[in-house]
Amino acid sequence: MRRIELDTPVSLELTLPAVAGAVTVSVNGVRVAERAWAPYRVTIPADALRPGGNELRVRVAPSAANRYYAGTGLRAEPEPCGLLAPPLLRHALKTPASITER
List the domains of the chain with CATH numbers. Answer: 2-91 (2.60.120.260)
The mean per-residue pLDDT over the stretch 35-45 comes to 95
pLDDT at position 94, please? 61
Quick one: average pLDDT of 75-90? 92
Strand order in the sheet with 2-6: 2-6, 52-61, 22-27, 30-35
- Asked if 40 and 15 count as a contact pair (C-beta separation under 8 A), the reply is yes
Looking at residue 41, its pLDDT comes to 96
